[in-house]
Homo-oligomer: A and B are copies of this chain.
Amino acid sequence: MLHTECSLESNKIMSRIWNFSAGPSALPLSVLEKAQSELLDWNGIGASVMEISHRGAEFMALAESIEADFRQLLEIPDDYHVLFTTGGATLAQALIPLNIASFGQAADYVVTGHWSNTAIKQAKPYVDVREVASSASDGFRSVPSSDNWKCSNNAAYLHYTANETIHGVAIRQVPQLPENAAPLVVDFSSSIASEPIDVSQYGIIYAGAQKNLGPVGISVVIIRKDLLERDGQTRADILDYRSQAAKDSMLNTPPTFNWYLLGLTVRWMLEQGGTAEFKKRNELKAATLYETIDVSGGFYRNEVAASARSIMNVPFFLATPELDALFVSESRKQNMLGLKGHKAVGGIRASIYNAMPLEGVEVLTDFMREFQRTHG
């Protein structure tokens, strides 16, 4: 690796940690190394990519190539716009009703965990939120069957969360819904590009980038063009997705460096074999981890229904909060970061996004077995 040959701090051998953070999360080492190597001089122009005009020919060409790569990665049809935006998924959760629903119109929400509720909270000032299904009653350990979603007539859209980052619950298949169902609006923040999806099944796919797409500080909104033609509600131009689309996500100065890092990460995913390859890797990583939990005889517990288990975020619990805390502190000593569960649920959480290799998961499962041996 570059940094061992010629480190900027050459008297120190750098040791990269196994990073299980939920987001911001690990980036591929090669992406960071490339960003590092050209941080002072990008493309031979004598300046960092973060120091140049977004409207100059160099950055415009970069932005165009990133969009092309991203479209290739997710096989995005031509009748979809791709917006690169700021504000994260949470801002999108407010802007989507503002842009594609009229004030007070019904909007359907499926609730499968924390982030489903966040989406509802942001939408409530603008639409008549209808919870059409919820797994709250079983502590978000399952996904309500789409047969039982009580969808509204004339809803502006139907929203769900493809992967609940905190609860470790996923909706990986497109739900079977009637022909006349409202367009699907789906938060893919923590599972985008983890496996192939059929974009044409969705009205809007949105995601913060800081999990599978690399850096924090930029988000993507993939929106079917006919939805952009809806009037939406009174809003400032900067909050208007039509204006953003018309200006190719440069209505105002975009976060160029974050965009560049996203581009490096997307290119890395393509070079690795794309979403089909990552599906294989992610399923193997997840199976390795869930198996370690399931064969532990209850020492480790993950109670999510097998069909609803996330392949990105694996929460689990030990017998007591004290044992959870000890597990986290001991894992940190063994070169693993970010395993503490979200404060909303406690316990442990291993986030194993695309940038996490199988080797990292095996380091974790080896540690889990050893921890069980010494504390079981």
Contact = CB atoms under 8 A, between A and B. Distances in A.
Contacts of A6: 6-8, 10
Nearest to A29: B40
Contacts of A258: 217, 255, 257-258
Contacts of A347: none
A288 interface: no
Contact of A26 (B8, B51, B257): B51
Stoichiometry, as copies per complex, reads: 2
Q: Kindly state the interface size class of chain A when it binds its partner.
A: 35 or more
B217 A90 contact: no
Interface in A205-246: 208, 210, 215-218, 234-239
A215 B126 CA distance: 33
A121 B237 contact: yes
Interface stretch (A30-38, A70-78, A154-162): A30-38
Given A3-B40, A216-B254, A216-B257, 4 more contacts: A50-B261, A87-B238, A122-B238, A216-B253
30 contacts: A6-B10, A15-B46, A16-B40, A16-B46, A16-B47, A19-B51, A23-B253, A24-B52, A25-B51, A26-B47, A27-B48, A27-B50, A35-B39, A36-B36, A45-B337, A50-B216, A54-B216, A56-B338, A86-B87, A86-B88, A86-B217, A93-B236, A122-B236, A122-B237, A123-B236, A208-B253, A216-B253, A216-B256, A217-B218, A217-B256
Interface of A: 2-3, 6-10, 14-17, 19, 21-27, 29, 32-33, 35-37, 39-41, 45-48, 50-54, 56, 86-91, 93-94, 121-123, 125-126, 208, 210, 215-218, 234-239, 251-258, 261, 335, 337-338
